[in-house]
């Protein structure tokens, strides 16, 4: 493993954005690292840093867009680690740059599964509704085509990320496309479909599917359902979230999502112009109980 990757791992674990020499990384140095160095670890770290630090200057965007086309940083399985990190960073800082969405759309046809996954997530983060047709095209063939790649730990497409992005960006026209995935054999895909269907239709039956997963025997699925319910702000699931057998930290994150969504709804509809509603206060009380 290149030394750069080892250093990057140590720096990320420490949570401190520093150079390998212990000095704080600067924008100028990050741009040098991603544009001019040959060490894949330093380039990978620079892309991560630009996103982490929310550096949205044109020079950073340009460097990350170039990184999306990188051919030199290849993993043993043929993947593109630098492209993945660049796409992830652009999802955080690319808002307002006309060239970012087309570049990320191009990533959706990359032969690296994880580049496609990260690009879908980035497009969702950017609110790129123009990406809907391309994202929906990745669901062609429906459930019958959504099978595992032989010798790989994943399906032929990153269906979770695609479905979640369509739920955020799409509309009722996608119901017929997404609904079949509610019956996919992989639980995570079913959950992503339920999340998307709730976001698109507002029908509580789909959110309740996620609430039921909070009782699943597998902790990982319970954690994922917590994040899904928080992401869609399902108020009726607040009590179930608080009582889930999972870490309080994750339950707090989910409840925070519910609270933020509820406050946004109240502000938009002027339901409680004198202060927080009873529903919002109830969610806050649940959060207090977990501290």
CATH architecture of 207-291: Alpha Horseshoe (1.25)
Residue 20 has a pLDDT of 56
Specify the pLDDT at position 2. 42
Domain locations in the chain as residue ranges: 3-206, 207-291
Handedness of CA 36, 39, 44, 45 (dihedral sign): negative
193 close to 179: Cβ distance less than 8 angstroms: yes
Q: Which CATH number fits domain 3-206: 3.40.50.1440, 1.10.3720.10, 2.60.40.10, 1.25.10.10?
A: 1.25.10.10
**Which positions of the chain have pLDDT values less than 50?**
1-16
Which pLDDT value is given to residue 1? 40
pLDDT value for 5: 43
The reply to whether 207-291 shares the fold of 3-206 is yes
Q: How many Å apart are CA 48 and CA 186, to the nearest integer?
A: 30
pLDDT value at residue 28: 95
Bridge partners of residue 148, in order along the sequence: 155
Give the separation between CA 84 and CA 9, rounded to whole angstroms: 16
């Amino acid at each position: 493993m290149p030394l750069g990757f080892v250093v990057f791992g140590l720096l990320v674990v420490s949570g401190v954005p520093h150079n390998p020499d212990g000095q704080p990384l600067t924008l100028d140095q990050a741009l040098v690292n991603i544009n001019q160095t040959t060490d894949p670890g330093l380039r990978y770290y620079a892309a991560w840093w630009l996103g982490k630090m929310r550096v949205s200057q044109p020079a950073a965007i340009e460097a990350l867009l170039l990184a999306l086309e990188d051919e030199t940083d290849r993993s043993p399985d043929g993947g593109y680690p630098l492209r993945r990190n660049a796409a992830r960073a652009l999802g955080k800082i690319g808002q307002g740059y006309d060239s970012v969405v087309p570049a990320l759309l191009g990533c959706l046809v990359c032969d690296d599964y994880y580049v496609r996954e990260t690009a879908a997530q980035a497009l969702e983060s950017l609110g790129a509704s123009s990406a809907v047709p391309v994202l929906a095209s990745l669901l062609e063939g429906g459930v019958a085509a959504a099978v595992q790649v032989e010798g790989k730990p994943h399906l032929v497409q990153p269906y979770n990320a695609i479905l979640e992005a369509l739920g955020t960006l799409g509309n009722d026209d996608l119901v017929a496309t997404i609904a079949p995935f509610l019956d996919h054999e992989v639980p995570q895909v079913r959950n992503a479909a339920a999340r998307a269907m709730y976001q698109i239709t507002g029908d509580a039956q789909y959110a309740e599917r996620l609430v039921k997963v909070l009782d699943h025997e597998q902790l990982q699925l319970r954690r994922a359902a917590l994040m899904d319910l928080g992401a869609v702000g399902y108020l009726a699931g607040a009590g179930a979230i608080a009582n889930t057998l999972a870490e309080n930290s994750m339950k707090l994150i989910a409840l925070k999502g519910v609270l933020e969504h509820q406050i946004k709804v109240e502000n938009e509809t002027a339901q409680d112009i004198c202060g927080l509603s009873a529903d919002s206060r109830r969610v806050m009380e649940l959060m207090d109980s977990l501290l």
